[in-house]
Amino acid sequence: MYDKSKEMFQRAQLFIPGGVNSPVRAFNSVGGTPVFFQKAKGSIMTDVDGKDYIDYIGSWGPMILGHAWEPVVKAVQAVTANSSSFGAPTEIETDIAELICDMMPAVEKVRMVNSGTEACMSAIRLARAYTKREKFIKFEGCYHGHADQFLIKAGSGAITLGVPNSPGVTEGTAKDTLLAKYNNLESVRALFETNPTEISAIIIEPVAGNMGCIPPAKGFLEGLRSLCDEFGALLIFDEVMTGFRLSSGGAHKYFNINPDLVTMGKIIGGGMPVGAFGGKREIMSMIAPEGPVYQAGTLSGNPMAMTAGLTLLKELHSNPSIFEDLEEKGAYLEKGFRQVFEKHAVPICINRVGSMISFHFTSGKMENFDDACNADADLFKQLFHEVLKRGIYFAPSAFETLFIPHTHTMAMLDQTVEAIDAGLTSMLQ
């Protein structure tokens, strides 16, 4: 098994740092050789050795309607024949912008970029310019891309002081990023009280998906909204993962909260590299060339990416039964997970919102990053490989959520639970 993947990984490591173009793909947190893929259709990915897997990553979100969804493939092929990029305006950019403003209640104007990272770093720049303040709050365990200002972890001493989480990030940058604890309003209030006129924004994943799936506690997001209002800061929802997934309008529509700015990515590109940020007209009008805040991109809004995104978004917009179906499948899988872990008497915390689901090996609570770090990583690692060899492709890290696409059948969900059952049997014997 995995012979060709092993060979390809050997060669890749000679020319690509770590053999991959994004770290989590390298299997570092689960060990073993990453699987190389050749093709995928619907729910099934095929590796280079010809083995099939039921996919729970969906390219980290975009494949919500399954891989190689025909309308996207066809539309991209057609538009590419007329050039993949002009570096000049096209009407399709307005088509997708108008549709996003229609779908997302908090978005009145939107700027397209090329990744979620770009979207988040631009949203912070805009929030700083709008409020004329330099600091912002992020939550431990939330991911907003790899811009310097987000690669900050909590310092060991004073809770308010962030420190660089990667070599190359300066202490000067770190001092403007304040760290709070997810689902803990007191930790946020404390930051505002020590910095009452310096905080430009709070940025948050409205459902955390980068420490496993951790939903917001009741009243948490509402509490952030009122703290922002009280202290004159902007509320930024990072919907790169939740946007167009939890509902056609993302998490802020799902929870009925009104953020000032929203960042998007993943699904919005239909599998192409796309991000976007948008929000209240008054704030977005500060972006160049309408306003003074500089933001640009040579390939931003290119016809291939816009066509892929527009085709996918149109379907999610016009077919609300997709979200009902995702909820139904999510609930079904959650039930299967609960039964199988209970059967083996393995303590587990299962979190789910719609089609985002994860399990943490712990008998404790799962409300923030500290809780996620306390779960048993070794059990995750073992189970990951047990199900992988049985043809189930979970995210190769306990700190990622699983995504259920529309194309998964009930039989596939059953097969997944059966693989866990067999995996746990062999682990625990």
Ligand X SMILES: *Cc1c(COP(=O)(O)O)cnc(C)c1O
130 noted as active-site residue:
no
Interface pattern 187-206 for ligand X (x via CB under 6 A): ------------------x-
Report the distance separating Cα 346 and Cα 23, nearest Å.
30
Residue 238 as a binder of ligand X (CB under 6 A): the answer is yes
Question: Which among 2, 56, 130, 143 is annotated as catalytic?
Answer: 143
Of residues 5, 115, 177, 397, which one binds ligand X by CB under 6 A? 115
266 noted as active-site residue:
yes
Quickly tell me which residue has 């990984």 as its tokens: 9
- Upstream peptide bond of 289 is cis (omega within 30 degrees of 0): yes
Q: DSSP characters for 122-157? A: HHHHHHHHHHT--EEEEETT----S-GGGSEEE-SS
Residue 145 as a binder of ligand X (CB under 6 A): the answer is yes
Residue 62 as a binder of ligand X (CB under 6 A): the answer is no
Q: How far is CA 108 from CA 95, 99, 261, in A?
A: 14, 10, 10
Report the distance separating Cα 397 and Cα 400, nearest Å.
6
> Taking a C-beta distance cutoff of 8 angstroms, is the pair 144, 242 a contact?
no
| Shortest reach from residue 237's CB to ligand X, in Å | 10
Judged by beta carbon, residue 192 or residue 237, the one nearer ligand X is 237
Report the distance separating Cα 59 and Cα 273, nearest Å.
11
Question: Which among 266, 280, 329, 381 is annotated as catalytic?
Answer: 266
Judged by beta carbon, residue 124 or residue 375, the one nearer ligand X is 124
Residue 279 as a binder of ligand X (CB under 6 A): the answer is no
Residue 240 as a binder of ligand X (CB under 6 A): the answer is yes
Of residues 5, 43, 117, 358, which one binds ligand X by CB under 6 A? 117
Residue 66 as a binder of ligand X (CB under 6 A): the answer is no
Residue 355 as a binder of ligand X (CB under 6 A): the answer is no
Residue 400 as a binder of ligand X (CB under 6 A): the answer is no
DSSP conformation class of 292: S
**Count of other CB atoms within 10 angstroms of residue 68:** 13
| Shortest reach from residue 241's CB to ligand X, in Å | 4
| Shortest reach from residue 209's CB to ligand X, in Å | 6
Rounded to 10°, the helix 410-428/321-343 angle is 20
Q: How many CA atoms lie within 13 A of 59 on its CB side?
A: 21
User: How many residues of this chain bind ligand X (CB under 6 A)?
Assistant: 15
Residue 241 as a binder of ligand X (CB under 6 A): the answer is yes
414 noted as active-site residue:
no
DSSP conformation class of 215: P
| Shortest reach from residue 339's CB to ligand X, in Å | 29
Q: Which residues lie near ligand X (CB under 6 A)?
A: 115-117, 120, 143-145, 205, 209-210, 238, 240-241, 265, 275
